[in-house]
A and B are shown apart, each in its own frame.
Chain A
Amino acid sequence: MAEVTLTINGGQITVPQGSTILNAAQKMGVFIPTLCYDPELTIDGSCRMCVVEVKGARTLMISCATAATEGMVVETESPAVIEARKTILELLLANHPLDCLTCGRNGDCRLQDYAYRYGVKEGGFAGAMHQYPIEDDNPFIVRDMNKCILCGKCVRACAQIQGKNVVDYTYRGFDTKIAPAMDTTLAGSDCVFCGNCVAVCPVGALQEKVLRSKARTWEINKVRTTCPYCGTGCNFDLNVKDGKVVGVTSCDGDVNGRALCVKGRFGYGFIHHPDRLSKPLIKKDGQFVEASWEEALALVAEKLGGIRDNNGPDALAVLSSARCTNEENYLLSKLTRAVFGTNNIDHCARL
């Protein structure tokens, strides 16, 4: 494949022809801030945050949508670039609630990150602010369109990852807003609540309802695991705070990338549900009574051993579990065959 060599901030880099300046910079480890860019989605080029100075160009160029060319000389943090980015941030903040103190995305917000990076404290332009009601009429996602920066990533994620096209740009000018058809709520639309829009939102406009109200971003420990629902095998991060699972967020899964479905992303509440069994139970006179592990295990061993010895091993039968791990299924097969002495083991693969 043909390659091009360009200079970024004084260093040279060779990339395949067709790469963008942003791709080349990322390959070099040079950071360029972006808001509307996402490697998995089509290029929008609308936020202008990623502008860079290209020697000989008439204006600043957006690095996400400008092809790297042979001999190109690029500066990513020149005074003109910094001034442009500050102005963009001032424009965004002029119509953005400065409620970072209570925002669920505090600490995990690109707008906040870049305002810090460029020392922008407030909007530079006084004027109207949106006063949209906050949409929280569903148990999964909170939409606060006052915080939306119109990057359109959610629109593209819905169309290009989820394939649902539930949301898009509506109205014009200052009134431009991302919404489902007829400006209804997500609950009133065809939305399937996969939350893949939430996963790509760079600010606090789309938030996981429970997760963002239970933990600050820096209080969370993430543990990568595999989803317990269908057989697809999606990977995700369990978000843990104080020994409790408070949410699920996307990671780069082998099978699913960042995509999850509503069950994977929002179906974790059973883990700490009060109905969880927390002690062994033994039925006495038709009622369950809490028991110690020693008592319960001894009773199981005595009764099953008794049936095996008195009625023969084949009077015992075992249902293993398509929900449990490989190791556990292996051990139950071993227990059945080696200890109970029968091959009477099955599970719900037939169901």
Chain B
Amino acid sequence: MTNPIQDVAGADFIFAIGTNTTESHPIIGLQVKKAVRGGSTLVVADPRKTEVAELAKVHLQIKSGSDIALLNGMANVIIAEDLYNKEFVAERTEDFEAFKAAVEKYTPEYVEGITGIAAASLREVARGYARVKNATILYTMGITQHICGTHNVFAVANLSMLCGHIGKPNSGVNPLRGQNNVQGACDMGALPAVLTGYQGVGLDDVRARFASAWGLESLPAKPGITVGEMLEGASHGTIKGMYIMGENPVLSDPDANHVVHALDKLDFLVVQDIFLTETAQLADVVLPAASFAEKDGTFSNTERRVQRVRKAVEPVGEARPDWQILCQVATAMGYPMNYASPADIMKEIASLTPSYGGISYERLEQGGIQWPCPNPEHPGTPVLHVGKFSRGMGKFNPVEYVAPAEMPDEQYPLVLSTGRRHFHYHTGTMTMRTGALEVYYGTEYLEINSADAAKLVICDGDKVKVSSRRGSVELSARITDVVPEGLVFTSFHFPEVAINRLTNPARDSIAKIPEFKVCAVKVEKTA
């Protein structure tokens, strides 16, 4: 997020696109509700009529995957009606002319044909976003899990720069991240092309600095491969060994049958986890890890706030904290790694990472710190891009609408979209074992519109089989107007409803994110 979570409540206008905020990020949802109670305008763009959509002044129930058309359409209106922030565009941005030319064809009438949103509604929302003092954009995987995910994000950024709603409080471009430390895992360089703090592995001076700190002659310069490419490599035999820590790709990745096949082909698979997950069951060696309650450390949240995790109880059985296991594996491979505590590891991180330079366990005792925090005296940075973007000028990246990779056809006439439920989390490894959450919400269902259900002669509660070109699952149908005609929805939490057997592994060409939000399916009644 460019801005803190608390800022959301202070925005005059909230544009939530592709985020089921109150269900997937309930506490950020409270900020949205607070803003609405205080008189702010909430606009939600989502194919589903979610709880947060019900709270909105305007719900833009767009067709799945039509986000770029919508966002470019808003920009078209704002430019055509001369509502954009000329001072901001002139002083802080570049390539505006190219952007202006690109959005010219996205008139509200043209956009209506792609998104299904009435031209008048689009105009109203565009004017609303442009005219207020502070507007914020919230988004999650509804924006990113598309073959054009990166371009969707560019379109969001373009809109915010066009109106100057960035680099100041109560505004910004705010992706709400879905996992406790997904921000931190990225910050720490658990990515193929960067080391900590997004320092590129291709840069000689960066590699030299890390090699020297790590006591090595050199480090590999060639960027690595992404998760999808790893699984491809495994199935083709170019990847022979994998080490998986605390992830469950068998349930979380698209085209699950293919994932299992790929992992099965490995010569050697190590899985380090707290449970024998569906992925761990395929491993040659499973290493038992400590849970968050059994170790010290830090997580970085979606607003870049680094916060302490504290050990409350001893690890169960012989389980060990992941950091200790990793040190022991390195040592066993002839590279001694010794740290007295996670605080010591953080000292090393801070010494190699400019944005974490001022972060230490001593300081974190006083509360979380938002990076960039370059030195021990620096208070942290709640709002990014104040006065100047991190790259200098804000660059408009013109983008064009493209249709999802797999659209419904005669054989597979419905669109399947997947997401989260309020009572569960990710692949259910934790939330199915709480003695509470799975008791209250124990079975998954398929949301289907009454019009589609009528065509298929499906009644509420009927068992149905949902199939795509890649696989099928069975579950109960729930007839609801949360989904429009033509769309069905379910979550990926339940191992017995492994919906990712169906999803499309087509990926965004830049970020390599799979298109979980759109694939073509058919639904049949089974009983």
Contacts from A to B (Cβ < 8 Å) = 138-140, 161-163, 187, 192-194, 209-210, 221, 223-235, 238, 240, 243-245, 254-256, 259-264, 266-273, 275-283, 288, 291, 293, 296-301, 303-305, 307-308, 311, 313-351
Contact = CB atoms under 8 A, between A and B. Distances in A.
Contact of B318 (A233, A293, A347): A293
B77 interface: no
Contacts of B66: none
A282 B333 contact: no
A140 B346 CA distance: 37
Contact of A225 (B309, B342, B348, B435): B309
B313 A245 contact: yes
Contacts, number: 456
Interface stretch (B176-184, B408-416, B469-477): B176-184
Given A299-B285, A319-B242, A344-B230, A255 B291 contact: no
B76 interface: no
Contact of A351 (B189, B252, B292): B252
A168 to B, nearest CB: 16
A327 B329 contact: no
A326 B240 contact: no
A266 B431 CA distance: 10
B459 interface: no
Contacts of A209: 436
Given A320-B185, A324-B185, A331-B345, A231 B25 contact: yes
Contact of A319 (B243, B334, B346): B243
B389 interface: no
Interface stretch (B117-125, B449-457, B511-519): B511-519
Given A163-B33, A280-B287, A324-B246, A345 B190 contact: yes
Contacts of B115: none
Contact of B178 (A194, A231, A262, A278): A231
Contacts of B292: 225-226, 228, 323
A321 B227 CA distance: 12
Contact of B299 (A139, A233, A334): A233
A74 to B, nearest CB: 33
Interface string B290-329: 0111110111111101111111111011111111001111
Contact of A210 (B268, B326, B333, B435): B435
Interface string B229-267: 010011000111111111101001100000000000001
B226 to A, nearest CB: 5
A299 B267 CA distance: 13
Interface of B: 5-6, 24-30, 33-34, 37, 176-193, 195-196, 201, 210, 214, 216, 219-220, 222-228, 230, 233-234, 238-247, 249, 252-253, 267-268, 270, 273-276, 280, 283-289, 291-295, 297-303, 305-314, 316-323, 326-330, 332-335, 337, 342, 345-346, 348-349, 367-368, 422-425, 429-431, 433-437, 439-440, 511-514, 516
A296 B325 CA distance: 11
A221 B310 CA distance: 13
Contacts of B311: 223
A244 B293 CA distance: 10
B4 to A, nearest CB: 8
A231 B302 contact: yes
B430 A303 contact: no
Nearest to A272: B316
Nearest to B190: A320
12 contacts: A225-B312, A256-B27, A273-B275, A291-B285, A297-B328, A304-B243, A333-B189, A337-B195, A344-B230, A348-B179, A350-B514, A351-B252
Contact of B195 (A140, A162, A323, A333): A333
A160 to B, nearest CB: 8
B291 A262 contact: no
A317 B25 CA distance: 31
Contacts of A138: 440
Given A231-B181, A259-B27, A267-B430, 16 more contacts: A240-B313, A254-B305, A267-B431, A276-B317, A283-B285, A288-B286, A319-B242, A321-B185, A324-B246, A326-B299, A329-B189, A331-B326, A337-B201, A344-B224, A348-B247, A351-B516
A260 B457 CA distance: 41
* From A138, A187, A300, residue with most partner B Cβ within 10 Å: A300
Contacts of B33: 162-163
A259 B313 CA distance: 24
A333 B190 contact: yes
B235 to A, nearest CB: 12
A280 B219 CA distance: 31
Nearest to B439: A139
A232 B225 contact: no
A315 B191 contact: no
Contacts of A227: 180
Given A259-B30, A270-B433, A323 B180 contact: yes
